[in-house]
Amino acid sequence: MSDRFLFQNARIKAMESRLLGPAQLARLAEASSAAEVRKILGETGFGSSATGDNLGVDKLVEAEERAALVLLKEFNESGELTAFLLETDYLNLKALLKAAATGDRNPVLGEEGVVPVEELRTAAEGDVRFIRPYMAEAVRAVERLAAENKLTPHGIDCAVDKAMFRDIAETAKKGGKDIVEYFALKTDCVNIATFIRCKRWGLADKLFEENFVEGGTLDLAFFLAAYEGTEEAFTEKLRYTPFADIAEKAAEGNGLTALEKAVDEKLIGMWRSNKDDMFSAAPVVAFFLTKTAEARAVKLIYAGVKNNVDPRLIKERMREIYGA
């Protein structure tokens, strides 16, 4: 990485002070009402870029997510961070393909990453000339399902996810070794979580195979060889891989929250450990991932408070996004 990251990372360091820390998240979890959650967030400046009157917490969260993505786009001067932006484009493609299948003319779309929404909209209608090759493959896969009368929302998800992870794995190479390793790690974590969900829900190995995405260090054969065994045998097998920490959480067997938390910590932790390297993209990426995790935490807390969940339970279920 070049020294041009110095200016960007100096800006990031100044912005880190505005992140919600553990104490503020705990205060939110102890709020007596949804209105109090909104009041506390307003005091912290969370969602300050949102526009409109009488904005609810959902709109504040959307504003924070959008601002984080816009910042990442601004810092993506030479394309090193494109792989991080592609996910939002593929989510928009999913929404547009599902809308095309159901006749919905106004699907809810997120912020653009690197592909204009209008190009995605045109592709969802069948003209794939202007989108990325892997996106075009996803559209064609969905068209084949429709032609065979097999199209389902899950089928669209699978087709788009497979294309997304292949595209991201290829694009990550432009960002350097750390970004390649991060997305390989993320792909492995996604496949591990999918495997454990399928096992716990008693689903056939064929369904796992349909959901398996390429680009990680653990290939499909690794998972299929373990599918006939127990979940315990699988997590024991993971103990001899770089995913021993995830295996430990999965082995606790108390729902999927602990597993999801372990995955979050592993992914963010990779960048947090180097977030003071001012000559690399690490501070930028660490900030972006922390902001998106922060938004998820606020959503979780708000839902808990709104539904009168005991604050202690909210805290137990809240993902830890700041390390020990």
Two tokens at 229?
């065994």
Indicate whether 75 pLDDT > 70. Answer: yes
The per-residue pLDDT for 321 is 45
How far apart, in whole angstroms, are the C-alpha atoms of residue 192 and residue 214? 12
Indicate whether 62 pLDDT > 70. Answer: yes
Residues whose CB falls within 8 Å of the CB of residue 186, separated by 6 or more in sequence, listed in order: 267
Q: What is the mean pLDDT of the chain?
A: 86
**Each residue's pLDDT tens digit, 308-317:** 888 877 776 6
How far apart, in whole angstroms, are the C-alpha atoms of residue 192 and residue 183? 14
Indicate whether 114 pLDDT > 60. Answer: yes
Two tokens at 57?
């917490």
The full length of the chain comes to: 324
How far apart, in whole angstroms, are the C-alpha atoms of residue 284 and residue 295? 17
Start-to-end CA span in the chain (Å): 29
- 153-172 and 177-200 are packed helices; what angle lies between their axes, rounded to 10 degrees? 150
Least confident of 9-13, 23-27, 115-119: 9-13
Indicate whether 323 pLDDT > 50. Answer: no
How far apart, in whole angstroms, are the C-alpha atoms of residue 62 and residue 304? 18
Determine the average pLDDT of the residues in 4-28: 82
**Each residue's pLDDT tens digit, 205-257:** 999 999 999 999 999 999 999 998 888 888 888 888 888 888 777 777 656 66
Taken in order of first residue, the domains within the chain and their CATH numbers are 81-174 (1.20.1690)
Which is more confidently placed, 138 or 292?
A: 138
Which is more confidently placed, 261 or 168?
A: 168
**Each residue's pLDDT tens digit, 247-273:** 777 777 656 666 777 787 788 887 777
Q: Which amino acid is present at 156? A: I
- Global pTM value: 0.84
